[in-house]
Structure 1
Amino acid sequence: MIESVVNEIREFSKRSGLYEKRILVLFSGGKDSSLALYLLNEAGLNVSALTFFHRWSWRETLNWAMKFTKKLGVEHYLVDVTDGLLRETAGRKGPICINCKKVMLWNAKWFAINNGFDVLAKGDNANDKIIGALLDQCRTDIRLCGLPRIGIPFFRPLIKYTAEEVEALAEEARIRPYRMYEHARRRQWREGCPLQYIDREEIVTPKLMDLAYRVNYEISKLARRKKVRMSVRVPSFEIMCWDCDEETLRDAQEIIAKFRRVEG
């Protein structure tokens, strides 16, 4: 299946003139973006990776991402967006992810423009909720779309493949990202960062962001040991878990109790 997809990307790239372009892949270190980077590299395109991180990012997944690009022999840029994230989120109500994506998107645009990249690439698949208002602006194949508000084309090599097909492709390519065993929003592995677990309607502060990181880091260690997926909302300390048994929940409550005592 990998060979077929790579050939399809080659043919599309020839028709679209992508072999004459420098492509910057927005690379989180998750399965989708890892697969997109892998496939474009296999197709012989001129690709580099761009990873954004901040003070509350998981260091384990960042380390894995750096090892992955080194193995591929792909140039990898790391950009700290902590200051921009704080400007966009502190003092506002959650959820934080909307503002974070805004910061990353505009940083990606200007990074690409200032460093001579012609195209941005993403790992969106057919299950992602993007075929709608955003891509209605596309007048050609939605795999390569120039968005007027951004001013630089986006290449989505996986957009016609379902999440299940992406899973199969990643497994065939032996792409197995480091997992924090987060609960995430869906059953598929859709991990992100601990700041997504700040309670809705809560005013975001650096102190609350620190708490979301510290609690969920400890919870993730428990989840990894128990091979379940679990996260905790803050400041409510609501536990979210797929397939937790009573013993695991008791262990999680003990971790939370320690944080409650510290927080007073």
Structure 2
Amino acid sequence: MIFSEFTQNKRKLKDFPELKHNIKKFVKDKKIIMMLSGGNDSATAVSLLKELDLNVELCVHFYHDWSWKLHKEEASKIAESLNIPLKFHYIGDEIKRRVINSKGKNVCRICKDIMKAECLKIAKENNIEVIATGDTATERISGPIMEYLNKYGLSFDNMELAPVPGRIAGEGVLFLRPLIRIRYEDVDKVSKYYDISMKRVGEANYKLREGCPVQYINPDAIVTGKLLNDAYCVNKIATDIARSHGFKASVFAPSLSIATIPQKEEYMNLVKDELGKNGYPIGEIAEFPYHTNTLKLVPNKEE
């Protein structure tokens, strides 16, 4: 399996056998805990680690009051298929404590920090040396890892296994990102190699990854408990109707802007009508407030 030009030229990784060799060489017999989201990337990463016969001791799936139940089910499916113990770890209370009164643009970063910190605790409790994730080349963490490599004069071979981020990694604990040097087109090749087919909620996310409904809180909105609940409710309504009609949809809150894939007015109107039936009455469709794949639905004037 030959990788894309980006991976070969920008990340100095020619093919799948080379990736396997590098991971095996650096990880060796270290004990691993896998952060399993229930999505395609982490499922692909853990399948790769198991094929290499590495010591994956435990998978952990983090969940909260606003996460998709489907992801929990899919995490169970992949862990069971690979015969790896799976721990479900609730972080809802910590999320509420940390994100209330912050801005929407900070929610995902805060949530990721919470998951990594909690996983570090679990790793130490179980004498595990390595925390593995499904991060790919399109993740923001790629930048800090590149800075780490440059700072210490390390080659790209060291990119998969690194003590980054430093504020999270405890002494003796490393982060393993088997897919960090490859982008979505190469991840897709590896996923097909392992015959991975994860069910999707159907978010209209142009990053090609699903997360949870709170990522659709408007960036400058001040987060409240009600807003967290509203973000979940409107996206549950939107994705349910979208799946039943064969498209993808997401709704930003509190603006109630709608995104669909493909972008069609008939799909926007289906979501709009379903929201109205469920207590979110919305009026006319306005112009594009975020990007060309999002339409804003303006509340009725009498509201």
| Bigger Rg, structure 1 or 2 | 2
Deviation at 1:43, TM superposition (A): 0.8
Q: Give the SS at the match of 1:125.
A: coil
Q: 1:250 to 1:10 in 2, by over 3 A?
A: closer
Offset, 1:13: 4.4
Unpaired segments ≥5 residues, structure 1: none
Q: Report the alpha carbon displacement of residue 193 of structure 1 after superposing the two structures with TM.
A: 0.1
Alpha carbons 1:222, 1:252 under 8 Å: kept: yes
Q: Distance in 1 between matches of 2:258 and 2:24?
A: 49
Q: How does 1:69-84 map to 2 (within 5 A)?
A: 69-84=79-94
TM-score (norm 1): 0.90
The aligned residue for residue 58 of structure 1 is 68
- Residue 135 of structure 1 and its aligned partner are, at CA, apart by 4.0
The CA distance in 1 between the partners of 2:112 and 2:160, in whole Å, is 20
| Greater alpha carbon shift after TM alignment, 225-234 vs 134-143 | 134-143
Q: Sequence identity, in percent?
A: 32
Among 119, 127, 151, the residue aligned to 1:116: 127
Aligned residue identity for 1:169: V
5+ residue gaps, structure 2, are 3-14, 283-298
SS at match of 1:98: helix
Shift of 1:39: 0.5
Q: How does 1:83-232 map to 2 (within 5 A)?
A: 83-95=93-105, 96-138=107-149, 139=152, 140=154, 141-147=158-164, 148-149=166-167, 150-151=169-170, 152-186=173-207, 188=208, 190-232=209-251
Residue type at the aligned position of 1:217: K
Letter in 2 for 1:75: P
Query: Does the CA contact (< 8 Å) of 1:88 and 1:103 recur in 2?
Result: no
TM-score normalised over the length of structure 2:
0.79
d(CA) in 1 for partners of 2:139, 2:280: 36
Aligned partners of 1:230 and 1:241 also within 8 Å: yes
Q: What is the alpha-carbon distance in structure 1 between the residues aligned to residue 261 and residue 223 of structure 2?
A: 26
Q: Over aligned residue pairs, what C-alpha RMSD do you find?
A: 2.2
2-structure distance, mates of 1:52, 1:204:
21
Q: Deviations over 1:100-152 (max 9, x none)?
A: 11111111111111221100111222233333234422444111112343222
Distance 1:135 1:108 in 2: 23
Could you tell me whether the CA contact under 8 Å between 2:145 and 2:159 is conserved in 1? no
**Which amino acid in the other structure matches residue 24 of structure 1?**
I
